[in-house]
């Protein structure tokens, strides 16, 4: 879907995920990649040349201040989400931020308040929510085919990144729950309409990365919903293989998304009821493309958008509660933005 007027997007950094999460979707939607800045000019030059960014600037602040940039995309290390989200909002820009929106609840509260003050659109990039795979799971609950919600299982796991990866750094707000478990928790939170309300944490436990006692290598959270349904949200950042499944069990059947986080790799939803079993294939078009379409439709046409800064704060609060319950400290915040 192409909007009447393309979005004018500025990119902070040259994160590997950007090609999938933003560049491809922007091309598909006819949007402009106006500017990029990275910590080193040569990397920014290479990124711009490869991805068709119109110009290279010398700092993140220059991208935010560029009068032609209306949307700031923030895929930086977790610890830099909050500071640069706040800076972009203070400059009156719309913000599309990779998750999580901040390092901890205090900072996420500031982001929420800054978005309200700016009157611009802040969205945390839970792209999975826009894909037909997740929408279909919600439809199956809404239609009554699965009966009343009884139990939810989310598992998001991957093999370990290198030891030098920022995801293992406490000062950079790393950890399995921040990088992966936020999907597990958020997917359970979205089931509130069919569970009498949002879930609350019952208990959580986790294991620390060797050599990094405050950084979680894995964390499991048990949740409970107002209607009596239970939830199990698991994440593991040093697992044997990739697992990104979402299983919904109802009183009359169950449905499983094999890979709800990366449906472009596996778009299957397995449905099982007493009557029959079937596999539905919902399409491998990128969830990031659906996400940018929805974001653009909201900015240009006022179409509904299911994610905002308040939702991001609620997720961050649950993350911090999980950390404390499992014996980990919430992630520390970065006191000042790196210049970029």
The reported pLDDT for the residue numbered 335 is: 72
Read off the pLDDT of residues 231-263 as tens digits, 9 standing for 90 and up: 999 999 999 999 999 999 999 999 999 999 999
pLDDT at 201: 99
312 touches 111 (CB < 8 A)? yes
Residue 1: pLDDT band (50, 70, 90) is very low
> CA 66 to CA 170: how far, in whole Å?
32
Whether pTM > 0.85 for this model: the answer is yes
pLDDT tens digits, one per residue of 97-142: 999 999 999 999 999 999 999 999 999 999 999 999 999 999 999 9
DSSP assignment of 76-143: S-GGGHHHHHHHHHHTT-EEEEPSSSSSSHHHHHHHHHHHHHHT--EEE--GGGGSHHHHHHHHHHHH
Task: Compute the distance between CA of residue 150 and CA of residue 132 in angstroms, rounded to an integer.
Answer: 22
Tens of pLDDT along 164-181? 999 999 999 999 999 999
Contact 125, 311 (CB under 8 A): no
Domains defined for the chain, CATH in brackets: 8-127+290-308 (3.40.50.720), 129-284 (3.30.360.10)
Q: How confident is the model at residue 3 (pLDDT cuts 50, 70, 90)?
A: very low
């Amino acid at each position: 879907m192409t909007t009447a007027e393309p979005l004018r997007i500025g990119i902070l950094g040259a994160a590997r995920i950007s090609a999938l999460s933003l560049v491809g979707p922007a091309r598909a939607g006819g949007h402009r990649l106006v500017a990029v800045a990275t910590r080193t000019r040569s990397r920014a030059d290479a990124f711009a040349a490869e991805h068709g960014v119109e110009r290279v600037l010398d700092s993140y602040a220059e991208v935010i201040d560029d009068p032609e940039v209306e949307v700031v995309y923030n895929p930086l290390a977790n610890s830099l989400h909050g500071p640069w989200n706040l800076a972009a909002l203070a400059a009156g820009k719309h913000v599309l931020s990779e998750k999580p929106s901040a390092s901890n609840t205090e900072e996420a509260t500031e982001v929420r308040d800054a978005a309200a003050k700016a009157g611009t659109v802040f969205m945390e990039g839970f792209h999975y929510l826009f894909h037909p795979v997740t929408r279909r799971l919600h439809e199956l609950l809404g239609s009554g085919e699965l009966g009343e919600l009884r139990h939810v299982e989310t598992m998001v796991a991957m093999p370990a990144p290198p030891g030098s990866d920022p995801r293992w750094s406490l000062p950079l707000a790393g950890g399995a729950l921040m990088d992966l478990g936020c999907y597990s928790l958020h997917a359970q939170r979205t089931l509130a309409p069919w569970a009498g309300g949002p879930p609350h944490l019952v208990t959580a436990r986790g294991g620390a990365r060797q050599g990094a006692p405050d950084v979680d290598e894995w964390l499991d959270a048990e949740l409970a919903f107002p209607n009596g349904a239970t939830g199990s949200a698991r994440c593991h950042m040093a697992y044997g293989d990739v697992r990104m499944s979402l299983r919904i069990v109802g009183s009359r059947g169950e449905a499983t998304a094999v890979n709800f986080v990366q449906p472009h790799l596996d778009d299957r939803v397995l449905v099982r009821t007493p009557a029959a079993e079937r596999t539905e294939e919902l399409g491998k078009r990128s969830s990031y493309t659906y996400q940018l379409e929805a974001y653009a439709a909201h900015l240009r046409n006022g179409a509904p958008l299911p994610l905002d800064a308040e939702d991001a704060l609620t997720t961050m609060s649950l993350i911090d509660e999980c950390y404390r319950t499992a014996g980990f400290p919430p992630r520390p915040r970065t006191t000042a933005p790196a210049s970029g």
